């Protein structure tokens, strides 16, 4: 958490390989890691859901889930064709595993609600079985009910053993779902507290004053 300009998005970009840090270290399971690009972060088990989501509106749900890693089969030994049936079946299995519900898999995603589009963006990243999922303001444009569904999805990811790092301005959501909260101000870490050991008032003080309670 942190106010505008605190450095949250910059931190996320460094963790997902989009920016290279000027100093400091990134440790994964205690070992130093250096990312030359997003693929290095993905190979290390880190996936990121950005605010833009990165979906292709005119493609269906399975086509978005498998975007860039499409399943194909060979025709007449000459050329390859998309295996739409396999992608649809594997997408359905993936969504059921995490309790994600969408009205139909065959419609283009521009017809889905904001919350459904958010869950599809998350589902696409789960194909690689990440150990860390970073979510940058995942509920910024969602209503109350859709926000609750995304929180339920985060809880199911945690139960599957996937760590979730969530950037959020909404302390209500933070206190509902988080185990720990880290506050940034002016590009520096103010502190990290366990949710069970702090209050909303204390966190607001960290965000505005830049000091520990």
Q: What is the pLDDT of residues 9-59, one digit of tens each?
A: 899 999 999 999 999 999 998 999 999 999 999 999 999 887 777 789 899
pLDDT over 70 (residue 151)? yes
pLDDT over 90 (residue 199)? yes
pLDDT over 80 (residue 208)? yes
Beta carbons of 201 and 209 less than 8 angstroms apart: no
* Separation in Å, CA 84 to CA 11, 59, 101, 197: 37, 12, 20, 49
Please compute the mean of the pLDDT values over residues 64-76 and round it to a whole number.
Answer: 85
What pLDDT is attached to residue 118? 80
- Mean model confidence pLDDT for the chain: 87
Burial of 22 (0-12, 13-18, 19+ CB in 10 A): exposed
pLDDT over 90 (residue 205)? yes
Specify the higher pLDDT residue, 138 or 163.
163
The pLDDT-based confidence of 141 (bands split at 50, 70, 90) is low
């Amino acid at each position: 958490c942190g106010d505008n300009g605190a450095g949250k998005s910059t931190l996320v970009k460094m963790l997902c390989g989009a920016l290279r840090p000027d100093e400091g270290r990134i440790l994964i399971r205690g070992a130093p890691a250096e990312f030359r690009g997003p693929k290095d972060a993905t190979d290390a088990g880190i996936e990121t859901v950005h605010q833009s989501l990165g979906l292709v509106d005119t493609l269906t749900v399975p086509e978005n889930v498998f975007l860039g890693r499409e399943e194909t089969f060979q025709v007449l030994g000459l050329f390859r064709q998309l295996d739409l049936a396999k992608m649809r079946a594997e997408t359905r299995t993936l969504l059921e595993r995490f309790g994600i519900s969408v009205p139909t898999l065959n419609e283009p995603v521009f017809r889905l609600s904001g919350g459904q589009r958010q869950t599809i963006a998350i589902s696409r990243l789960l194909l690689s079985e990440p150990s860390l999922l970073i979510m940058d303001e995942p509920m910024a444009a969602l209503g109350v009910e859709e926000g609750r569904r995304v929180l339920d999805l985060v809880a199911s990811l945690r139960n599957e053993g996937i760590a979730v790092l969530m950037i959020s301005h909404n302390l209500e959501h933070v206190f509902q779902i988080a185990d720990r909260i880290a506050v940034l101000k002016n590009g520096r870490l103010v502190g990290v507290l366990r949710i069970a050991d702090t209050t909303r008032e204390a966190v607001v003080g960290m965000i505005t004053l830049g000091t520990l309670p």
